[in-house]
Chain A
Amino acid sequence: MPVAGNVAIIGSAATRFGVHHDRGYLDLLKEAASGAISDAGLEAAQIGAAWLGTAHPELVSLQGDSGTAVTEVLGFAPKPVTRVSAYCATGMEAVRGAALSIAAGEYDYVLAVGAEKMRDVAPRESLVARVANLTHPTLAKGRSGPGQFALLATRYLHDFGRSRDDMAAVAVKNHEHASRNPIAHYDQPVTREQVLAAPMVADPLGLLDCTPTTDGAAAVVLTSVERARTLGRPYAVLDGVGFAVVDGYYATLYNPDNDYLGFRSTREAARIAYAQAGIENPREELDMVECHDCFTITEIINYEDLGLAPRGEGWKLLAEGATTVGGDIPVNLSGGLQSCGHPIGATGVRVVKEIADQVTGRAGPRQVDGARRGLAHTLGGPGVLSSVMVLSRGEA
């Protein structure tokens, strides 16, 4: 059977996202995985298989380079555990892999867990150093994560006559949202002036335009909708699952078709997910969105790629307050990557958990009244791949 409409999320958990100097990769992984299994009302022995999302195991002695980390922390032997990696969409790709196994009827319950331990080294020595030291010796040499997205910011501000103020509005909104999220890395509001005065990271992106570097883990437990209905517990249904890989990592950087105003991968993934979920007008039919705001410009562009605003008009949603709590399409009520941070493998699982919590009425102080349907999105690499999932409240 297809995933869409047939796979449910029945349990979830996440660690606090932040700097965990006192806890290792396996500690974080265990807290999230065990927590999600308990939240589902299950024992680890009832889980048939697991998918582990970790993008950068080399930051933690190669723990998480395979699924053995899950086996170790759950006492899971000899059950299969598959490690997946898809740049910043790693976590959602772990969820998709787990969902496919449920749809195939292979297992009754499966676990998708994402974990990343990035702060055992200083931020500049983690991802930035990896990009600089380990990637291709010549092609696009000199880029960093912020630098790649800054290229879009420069072009977007130029073509649509916008300014850093528009990007700052994303940071201000998401940091305010994070004040209602107990697991956020940064839960204090920031002002427009603070955002604009922050040190420059990659022109025109300043420090507060960027996601922090963070440790964390998140997990969800999946089963079939048919089985979920029998459990007497709230559950979320995967209505649509789109994953699009549109080019090679370096090839996309040299592809003349890239206009540096949006991400084809998000548009393709959204098209698939919307078709499966029967969504024609996402702004009307979704109650909230968690999207990949690795940098402030990314959220504005995501609005457009996800069909919430026309091309070049994503910034208007912020100006109108549409994506702020209480707006008609609130975005990143969790605080997003801007405030939660971005432990890469964990992020995708966290955003799925956030939407599952919302549609099942378990989002606490962030709860959108009457929420029934929401969207989770992550974007990977230089925008070359993207994952979009539409989740809705499961009926008993």
Chain B
Amino acid sequence: MSLGILAAGLALGPDRAPAGRGRRRAVGRPDEDAVTLAVDAAAAALAGHPVAPSAVLLVSTTAPYEHGGSVQLVVELLGLQGALFATELTATDRDGLAALRLALSLAETGDGPVLVCATHSDRASKTTGDGAVALLIGRGDGLAELSVAGSHVEELRDRWSLRGGPRHEADRSFVESIGTERLARTVWDASATAGAGARVLIDGPDARSSARLERELGGPGDLVAPAVGHLGPAHALARLLTALAAPSQLVAVAAGQGDCLRAVPTAAGAEAAAAARALVEAPGQEIAAPPPDAVPADFHPYHSIPRSWRERGADLRLEGILPPGAPVPGRDNPTGTVVTWTRDCVYPAAPVTGMAIVDVDGGGRFFGQVCAGEEVEIGSRIRLVPRRLHSGGDVVQYFWKVSPCR
């Protein structure tokens, strides 16, 4: 059996804000970030898949921790902790495809499938969207065969920031001419191995010239960016996922250096692509602009690293709250019914904090916050989802929140 995409998941911020020239971008709620979006996408990818991954690759330039890592949170929230290889790629938008290349190598030589979670969350951005794509890479029947088609590396800096400094972009004419030319070279070289009839999807450092190059190469055009914004390193994966309908695909991405992958979709891939496109095209909740995260500067809730480690099972998987034998929450988010609720106007982390008591299906009682921007009432059917708590401390505290079933 060949290597390929065994399963896929896509998660997008639920709100849609204007992104200029008729475009929209997906915006996450204040309690969502790159980690929660990655977990949401990964849970969708892993749902019903019989084989647990042997490695997890998290890809993000907006992960909450600059140092110290975020992938372990994704792993714990998915109930995959333990003997597992996990790492993260955090340099450029190109790292989404780079992670797929690594995953192919790991899956070929390792003990099982590899989960790639590419995720992006930047609520303050005016153009990028908040979203994540998770692809389970391994050997077997799935959504598409996947293979390496080419790479190109040289010192070509289009976007960058020094550590702790502001973000910079190179002169647009330079990126359009030199950057896109290098991208074209990468794709051209890769085309030799892609085979006839391959459609090319380009996610380069400059959207306009990348689109022009894609048109010249007969590609379908980017349907994702106008609907939900550019998803950072998840974007190339989102484009790949939503385009799996064609008989053969070649996807190229470049950000100073480039990777090309060749994908040959199956019938199941076409179904997954249709579902992903429906999610991208769903209207979402229209907003003029993301509301600010209203946590006051003097809100410094207690936290303890030893406690977080000791009680990670309760925090991240509801161990001790749900009965023994309950499904792992991150991979099969629990559902339940609201027993009672309130909107608390004095909890100091937000103007209003929704709180709910929930009887969990299959046993167990949950008490916690309602997801930001959501409301429930007695009898509401809900799903427990991992979200970040209001946190003014030096760590991000993740826990479960109540989200209405829709």
Contacts and interface: CB of A to CB of B under 8 A. Distances in A.
Interface in A124-161: 124, 128-129, 132-144, 146-147, 150-155, 158
B315 interface: yes
Nearest to B395: A137
B193 interface: no
Which of A132, A140, A143, A253 lies at the interface centre, i.e. has the most chain B CB atoms within 10 A of its CB?
A132
A142 B342 contact: no
Interface in A180-211: 199-205
A208 B345 CA distance: 14
A134 to B, nearest CB: 5
A152 B304 CA distance: 31
A289 B260 CA distance: 79
Contacts of B342: 147, 150-151, 153-154, 202-205
B321 interface: yes
Nearest to A131: B347
A260 interface: yes
B346 A144 contact: yes
A61 interface: no
Contacts of B364: 254, 256
A258 interface: yes
B368 A140 contact: yes
B330 to A, nearest CB: 15
A298 B349 CA distance: 26
B343 A202 contact: yes
B367 interface: yes
B348 interface: yes
Which of A137, A147, A155 lies at the interface centre, i.e. has the most chain B CB atoms within 10 A of its CB?
A137
A255 interface: yes
B389 A142 contact: yes
Contact of B340 (A141, A154, A200): A154
Contacts of B106: none
B286 to A, nearest CB: 26
Contacts of B359: 256
B353 to A, nearest CB: 5
Interface stretch (B47-55, B69-77, B181-189, B295-303): B295-303
Contacts of B339: 155, 260
B366 A141 contact: no
A322 B335 CA distance: 44
B397 A155 contact: no
B355 interface: yes
Interface size class of A (residues with CB under 8 A): 35 or more
A203 B343 contact: yes
Interface in B352-406: 353, 355, 357, 359, 363-369, 378, 389-390, 397-399
Interface string B324-349: 00000000000000011111111111
Interface string B299-315: 11111100110010011
A256 B360 CA distance: 9
A133 B344 contact: no
Which of A124, A133, A155, A158 lies at the interface centre, i.e. has the most chain B CB atoms within 10 A of its CB?
A133
A372 B302 CA distance: 49
Given A137-B303, A151-B355, A151-B357, A253 B367 contact: yes
Contacts of B345: 199-203
Nearest to A143: B355
Nearest to B315: A138
A260 B340 contact: yes
Given A137-B301, A138-B397, A151-B355, A124 B378 contact: no
B357 A260 contact: yes
Interface in A205-236: 205
Nearest to A142: B369
Nearest to B321: A254
A91 to B, nearest CB: 24
Given A128-B348, A137-B303, A140-B368, A151 B397 contact: no
A179 to B, nearest CB: 28
A185 B332 CA distance: 52
Interface in B264-321: 299-304, 307-308, 311, 314-315, 321
A202 B344 contact: yes
Contacts of A129: 348
B299 A154 contact: no
Interface string B108-134: 000000000000000000000000000
B397 A137 contact: yes
Contacts of B390: 141-142
A205 B302 CA distance: 27
Contacts of A136: 302
Contacts of A124: 346, 348
Interface of A: 124, 128-129, 132-144, 146-147, 150-155, 158, 199-205, 253-256, 258, 260
Given A133-B301, A144-B346, A202-B346, 4 more contacts: A132-B348, A151-B341, A203-B345, A254-B365
16 contacts: A132-B301, A132-B347, A133-B299, A135-B302, A137-B303, A138-B311, A141-B399, A142-B349, A144-B344, A154-B378, A155-B378, A201-B345, A203-B344, A203-B345, A254-B366, A256-B363
Interface of B: 299-304, 307-308, 311, 314-315, 321, 339-349, 353, 355, 357, 359, 363-369, 378, 389-390, 397-399
